[in-house]
């Protein structure tokens, strides 16, 4: 064989190899049970989509947020699919940082109309879907049925704050280490900021009026914080200003909380084998104050494609695979219906097998449906978001305000001082931001 023929042959082989090389998409995600489960099912995606390989970058939520924000803001193109929350989607979509999922929305097989309306609303801008929900959550009351019975009370499906406060005080038994209620107290926009913002909605409070003026000097916020601090002092655990989701989960699982108001995703934890009170847990809607709004929030971890991605078609295939109805069936076939990611699709809550496997399913659905991101509180607001305000400045402001609220809970500031400081911080930051 001539040398030239050999060279041509070698070049052809190399070219073919390059063509056959799989396209690799990089997915940035958070570390939680549902996401880890999805990584374990990668083989199903690659079998259905030969030619596309998946690379996972799993990071802690706050690190991930910082990491993907840097990348998307600089058009870095390091990630082809990003796991982002309901807070980021409207802000990033308006900046043009996300690819609209129009094809997915129009795909009859994907059935975007099946996505729960409250969740889809939070992930859409001007009717266009910018992220596909992987799992959704709201918040609700989880309570110890045995302690409630011992207190001589019966939890209604839709309790009021007055009932919750009364029950918490009656369930508290400091000698036996039982706290009537465990609520978030740790400072942070995603910790006490989320809980107290959602709680304040049920008291008729709001972050801003229609002209973006801070509202912490209004009586509704004082009523919220007075109620919260008083209740936690009487019936909350010691050192509550350091407690976030995980700390309260640990307390509840060890049987040290009579009630816990937090994310619906916690339902599967408190009823799992890790919990010492798994068979004594009941669920109820988040409380209200008779003003027409409940204290529940709305959140969805969703998959979005950054506009800097060079592999948008392959990324769209992955987003479709991970968030369609077939994925739920895939998880159910491998790990049972109780393990499927909740809170995204209407059809899941019409599935009798799922309803039988997940006793908290109906309460989760009702909680999600009760949240309205575009009309979160009693009075009109200029923003979108139930437990957050979907503006870029919110993270920084709410972290500072959360510190004031934590100080009020810890007793290092009075409620009035904390609210005055919150008003000052928010007004100053919003003015600096040009509102």
Q: Would you tell me which residues interact with another protein (CB under 8 A)?
A: 26, 28, 30-33, 36, 39, 55-63, 66-67, 70-71, 73-74, 76-79, 190, 244-246, 249-251, 253-254, 256, 263, 265-266, 269, 274
- Contact at 8 Å (CB) between 28 and 81? yes
Residue 231 CB, shortest distance to another protein, in Å, is 22
**Cα–Cα distance for residue pair 235/257, rounded to 1 Å:** 9
**Cα–Cα distance for residue pair 347/325, rounded to 1 Å:** 8
Going by their DSSP bridges, the two strands 298-304 and 81-84 should be labelled as antiparallel
Is the CB of 104 or the CB of 266 nearer to another protein?
266
Residue 55 CB, shortest distance to another protein, in Å, is 4
Is the CB of 216 or the CB of 269 nearer to another protein?
269
Residue 104 CB, shortest distance to another protein, in Å, is 24
Residue 336 CB, shortest distance to another protein, in Å, is 18
Is the CB of 121 or the CB of 188 nearer to another protein?
188
CA nearest to 110, candidates 121, 122, 120, 125: 120
User: Looking up tokens 């990324």, which residue turns up?
Assistant: 315
Residue 309 CB, shortest distance to another protein, in Å, is 12
**Cα–Cα distance for residue pair 251/237, rounded to 1 Å:** 9
Is the CB of 71 or the CB of 288 nearer to another protein?
71
Is the CB of 31 or the CB of 374 nearer to another protein?
31
- DSSP conformational letter for 113: G
Q: How far apart, in Å, do the first and last CA atoms of the chain sit?
A: 76
Is the CB of 168 or the CB of 251 nearer to another protein?
251
CB atoms inside a 10 Å sphere around CB 328? 21
Give bridge partners of residue 284 from the DSSP assignment: 141
Residue 237 CB, shortest distance to another protein, in Å, is 10
SS3 311: coil
Residue 130 CB, shortest distance to another protein, in Å, is 22
User: What is the four-CA torsion angle of 420, 425, 431, 433, rounded to 10 degrees?
Assistant: -150
- Contact at 8 Å (CB) between 270 and 359? no
Is the CB of 244 or the CB of 343 nearer to another protein?
244
**Cα–Cα distance for residue pair 282/141, rounded to 1 Å:** 8
Residue 301 CB, shortest distance to another protein, in Å, is 10
Is the CB of 186 or the CB of 413 nearer to another protein?
186
CA nearest to 344, candidates 142, 159, 117: 117
- Contact at 8 Å (CB) between 159 and 285? yes
């Amino acid at each position: 064989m001539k040398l030239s023929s050999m060279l041509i042959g070698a070049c052809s082989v190399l070219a073919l190899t390059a063509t056959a090389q799989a396209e690799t998409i990089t997915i940035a995600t958070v570390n939680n049970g549902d996401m880890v489960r999805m990584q374990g099912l990668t083989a199903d995606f690659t079998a259905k989509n030969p030619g596309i390989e998946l690379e996972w970058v799993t990071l802690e939520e706050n690190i991930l947020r910082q990491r993907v924000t840097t990348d998307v803001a600089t058009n870095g193109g390091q990630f082809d699919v990003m796991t982002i929350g309901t807070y980021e989607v409207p802000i990033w979509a308006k900046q043009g940082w996300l690819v609209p999922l129009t094809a997915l929305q129009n795909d009859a097989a994907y059935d975007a109309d099946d996505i729960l309306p409250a969740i889809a609303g939070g992930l859409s801008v001007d009717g266009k879907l910018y992220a596909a929900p992987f799992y959704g959550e709201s918040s609700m009351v989880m309570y110890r049925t045995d302690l409630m019975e011992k207190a001589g009370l019966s939890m209604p499906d839709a309790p009021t704050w007055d009932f919750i406060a009364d029950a918490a005080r009656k369930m508290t038994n400091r000698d036996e280490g039982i706290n009537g209620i465990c609520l978030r107290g740790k400072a942070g926009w995603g910790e006490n900021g989320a809980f107290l913002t959602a709680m304040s909605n049920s008291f008729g409070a709001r972050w801003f009026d229609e002209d973006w003026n801070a509202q912490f000097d209004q009586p509704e916020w004082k009523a919220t914080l007075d109620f919260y601090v008083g209740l936690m002092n009487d019936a909350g655990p010691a050192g509550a200003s350091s407690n976030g989701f995980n700390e309260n989960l640990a307390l509840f699982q060890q049987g040290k909380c009579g009630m816990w108001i937090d994310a619906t995703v916690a339902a599967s934890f408190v009823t799992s084998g890790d919990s010492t009170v798994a068979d004594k847990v009941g669920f109820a809607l988040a409380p209200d104050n008779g003003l027409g709004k409940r204290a529940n929030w709305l959140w969805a971890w969703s998959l979005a494609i950054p506009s800097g991605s060079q592999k948008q078609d392959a990324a769209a295939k992955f987003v479709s695979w991970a968030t369609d109805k077939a994925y739920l069936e895939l998880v159910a076939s491998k790990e049972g219906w109780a393990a499927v990611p909740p809170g995204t699709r209407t059809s899941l809550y019409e599935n009798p097998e799922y309803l039988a496997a997940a006793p908290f399913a109906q309460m989760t659905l009702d909680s999600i449906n009760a949240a309205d991101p575009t009309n979160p509180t009693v009075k009109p607001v200029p923003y979108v978001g139930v437990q957050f305000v979907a503006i870029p400045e919110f993270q920084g402001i709410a972290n500072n305000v959360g510190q004031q609220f934590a100080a009020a809970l810890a007793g290092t500031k009075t409620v009035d001082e904390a609210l005055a400081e919150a008003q000052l911080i928010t007004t100053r930051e919003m003015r600096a931001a040009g509102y």
